Amino acid sequence: MTTFAVQYLESPYPDASPEAVRLRLRQACERLPISLVLLGWELTPALEEAVAEETFRQNAQLYRWQPILTGDAHTDLPPEWATLGLDGHPIPGHDNLPEFTFICPNRSAVADFLSERLESVAASGLYQGIFLDRIRFPSPAIDPSRHLACFCQDCTRQAADAGLDLKQVRHTIQSLSAEVLVRSLLGQPDQSGSMLELFLAFRARSISRTVRTLSRQIQSHNLAVGLDCFSPALTRMVGQDLSALDGYANWVKIMTYPRVFGPAGISFELLGLSKWLIRHGLREADTMRLLAEASQLPIPSTKAELAHAGLEPDTLRQEIRRGYELGITNLLAGIATVQMKEIHESTPQQIQADLNSSRAADGLVISWDLWLTPLDYLDMIRNLWS
């Protein structure tokens, strides 16, 4: 049976009154058998309670949609918790936004902060699960020579305990060609990058350990766990080992958004890598060929085409298959259904093609978010799955 989930109210939109958000959810449930409602983290108690009541009325489960390793509009994180790149400097968030500025899971004070962050949510009695978002290191795609993280003192100490010298790792990575570095990040390691492989494995263990700890805390409250993960072709870049993470969750959502030009969108990340490779002297044709070979995806032959049109809907089908191959047992495909200028401007026909390509998954997550999703798209989903 297909699972239908919705991400709902990423922010407290000005026109989102308790009555309006209740009505919107009711209208969605009239169109689709929605079983999971993933509710944003910045809402007023009145909005939370309104959605909780309607979710219960619809016999669905309410999850808190909770960022983990980033800040948000209400949480100022200490700058000393920042992830440090290869150059030793803090890695800035996308557009310097706190919700995309990452902290390092290996920092000594971060574990206590994360536990406290989750405890009040888990103990509130309002939720039946928690959907963990931003469980990763920052993406290095815009500049792998600087934004590959983390090289802080805590990471250095923990890596040393595991027999890995991060000073040597840094020196080795800095000596690699741009081509070798990108191929390794996308899953085609070269023998000259063996030290990089050890570092990527160390990072993945760091993320998996953090998620395991948080998952056990959540489950101690008899709550379910969902995970928001990068598209499988890109998970090595951000330290997500899907096989390990799957063991700590009831389900995993993959963010394969073929035409999203914002953080985590697969076209956005690949475009960042393409620009960096070209700046480092690789010809455009060779760059696009390299990315296609390393990612094993049908990437356009020009950077302009990738920037304009993104990837084909069939990318979803391929990444779902890869996700299962990498060990996900209950896989939900994220489908972008909003219109956001210069970030996601897909046509209804393209979204319908995305939906067709996602049918191999165990379910769908209507992504950011239901409040902004045309109800016609929900009718489209119902017609495809009826």
Instruction: Give tens-digit pLDDT for 87-126.
Output: 999 999 888 788 889 999 999 899 999 999 899 999 999 9
Mean pLDDT of 290-308: 96
The average pLDDT across 77-85 equals 94
Residue type, 89: H
Q: Looking at the predicted structure, is the pLDDT value of residue 143 above 70? A: yes
pTM for the structure as a whole? 0.96
The residue-averaged pLDDT of 331-356 equals 92
Please state the rounded mean pLDDT for residues 139-147: 96
Mean pLDDT taken over the chain = 95
- pLDDT confidence band for 75 (50 / 70 / 90): confident
pLDDT > 90? residue 147? yes
Please give the pLDDT value at position 368. Answer: 83
292, 308, 93, 320 alpha-carbon torsion, rounded to 10°: -50
Q: What is the pLDDT of residue 15?
A: 93
Angle, alpha carbons 376-131-44 (nearest 5°): 75
> Hey, what CATH topology would domain 3-138+193-260+314-385 get?
TIM Barrel (3.20.20)
Mean pLDDT of 381-386: 85
Q: Give the mean model confidence (pLDDT) for residues 173-191.
A: 92
Q: What is the pLDDT of residue 386?
A: 66
Give the pLDDT of residue 71: 84
Query: Looking at residue 381, what is its pLDDT?
Result: 93
Q: Which residues pair with 75 in a beta bridge?
A: 72
The model's pLDDT over 255-275, given as tens digits with 9 standing for 90+, comes to 999 999 999 999 999 999 999
Which of 182, 132, 172, 135 lies closest to 151, judged by CA? 172
pLDDT tens digits, 18-66: 999 999 999 999 999 999 999 999 999 999 999 999 999 999 999 999 9
